[in-house]
């Protein structure tokens, strides 16, 4: 299997043959013993046709300069493709952080290459819901769906590109309102149903092609 946009390899399955990652900073963070990494981009994979049984792309298509070409490249080099992305429309409607505090983040995300781009390229692909556990150890945007206090921590927000790339006055205003709602208990009353869930559909989707 080839892992494209592999980053530090956080989700890389054992048996990965090679990782593709353009950023030297990310490559340097790959642990000893991880699959070798090739410095390249999804849009121009340096491999012959059909050499891998599978290609994986985890939360990376929205970073690609030409996602459609990148997806075509995945399909060129591998028999099967698995892409983890998210459904922007679902997230904009169901994730409390966006609906209640920062709809501007949803507007920004609507323009990114996420689920709709992948399913436009592969209309016959299977799309599966990937629920996020309440104690998820990674720090992607919706990872803290049941731990709202986490968003008050600047270092947590800096690690979320969907927040870090927004106008920080808007983010600061949203965080101030969230802090107030947590302090007076209104967040807890409004979202009491979430506390009973151990995992939740935050909009992340696995696309199998
Ligand atoms: C959010 S990180 C995800 C990393 C890894 N897949 C994971 O889930 O931990 C997105 C990665 O995509 C990489 N990337 C950006 N542009 C790319 C491109 N055109 N082709 C492949 N990877 C790219 C970034 O350098 C970054 O490592």
Q: Which domains does the chain have, with CATH numbers?
A: 1-86 (3.40.50.150), 88-111+132-200 (3.40.50.150)
Residues with Cβ within 8 Å of residue 126, at least 6 apart in sequence? 207, 208, 209
Share of the chain above pLDDT 70, in %: 100
User: ∠ CA 23-108-193 to the nearest 5 degrees?
Assistant: 105
Per residue in 13-51, pLDDT (tens digit) is 888 999 999 999 999 999 999 999 999 999 999 999 999
Question: How many angstroms is it from 156 CA to the middle of ligand 1?
Answer: 19
What is the overall mean pLDDT for the chain?
A: 95
Question: How many angstroms is it from 34 CA to the middle of ligand 1?
Answer: 16
Residue 93: predicted pLDDT: 94
Which atom of ligand 1 is nearest the CA belonging to 41? 20
Pick the closest to residue 39 from 48, 58, 26 (CA basis): 26
User: In three state form, how does the secondary structure of the chain look?
Assistant: CEEECCCCCCCCCCCCCEEECCCHHHHHCCCCCCCCEECCCHHHCCCCCCCEEEEEEECCHHHCCCHHHHHHHHHHHEEEEEEEEECHHHHHHHCHHHHHHCHHHHHHHHCCCCHHHHHHHCCCCEEEECCEECCCCCCCHHHHCCCHHHHHCHHHHHCCHHHHCCCHHHHHHHHHHHHHHHHCCHHHHHCHHHHHCCEECCCEEEEEC
CA distances from 200 to 14, 136, 138, 143 (A): 26, 11, 15, 10
Residue 10: predicted pLDDT: 82
Share of the chain above pLDDT 90, in %: 87
Which atom of ligand 1 is nearest the CA belonging to 3? 6
Residue 84: predicted pLDDT: 96
Which protein residue has the closest C-alpha to ligand 1 atom 8? Answer: 58
Question: How many angstroms is it from 6 CA to the middle of ligand 1?
Answer: 6
Confidence of residue 111 (pLDDT cuts 50, 70, 90): confident
Residue 108: predicted pLDDT: 85
Rounded CA gap, 72 and 118, in Å? 10
Question: Does residue 11 register a pLDDT over 90?
Answer: no
Residue 59: predicted pLDDT: 93
User: ∠ CA 115-159-99 to the nearest 5 degrees?
Assistant: 55
Question: Which of 38, 63, 204 for a ligand 1 pocket mutation test, highest count of atoms within 8 Å of Cβ?
Answer: 63
CB-based pocket (< 6 A), ligand 1:
4-7, 10-11, 21-23, 26, 41-43, 58-60, 63-65
Which protein residue has the closest C-alpha to ligand 1 atom 9? Answer: 10
Which atom of ligand 1 is nearest the CA belonging to 161? 1
Rounded CA gap, 112 and 107, in Å? 10
Question: Which of 3, 11, 60 for a ligand 1 pocket mutation test, highest count of atoms within 8 Å of Cβ?
Answer: 60
pLDDT average, residue stretch 168-190: 97
Residue 158: predicted pLDDT: 94
């Amino acid at each position: 299997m080839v892992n494209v946009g592999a980053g530090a390899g956080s989700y890389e399955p054992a048996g990965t043959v090679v990782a593709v990652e353009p950023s030297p900073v990310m490559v340097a963070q790959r642990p000893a013993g991880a699959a070798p990494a090739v410095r390249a981009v999804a849009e121009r994979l340096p491999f012959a046709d059909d050499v891998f049984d599978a290609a994986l792309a985890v939360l990376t298509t929205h970073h690609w300069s030409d996602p459609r070409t990148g997806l075509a490249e995945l399909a060129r080099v591998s028999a099967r493709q698995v892409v983890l992305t998210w459904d922007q429309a679902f997230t904009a409607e169901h994730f409390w952080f966006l609906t209640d505090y920062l709809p501007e983040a949803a507007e920004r995300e609507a323009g990114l290459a996420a689920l709709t781009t992948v399913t436009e390229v592969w209309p016959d692909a299977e799309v599966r819901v990937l629920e996020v556990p309440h104690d998820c150890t990674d720090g992607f945007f919706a990872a803290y769906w049941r731990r709202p206090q986490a968003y008050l921590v600047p270092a947590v927000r800096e690690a979320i590109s969907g927040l870090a790339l927004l106008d920080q006055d808007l983010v600061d205003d949203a965080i101030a309102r969230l802090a107030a709602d947590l302090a007076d208990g209104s967040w807890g009353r409004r979202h009491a149903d979430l506390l009973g869930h151990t995992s939740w559909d935050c909009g992340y989707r696995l696309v199998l092609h």
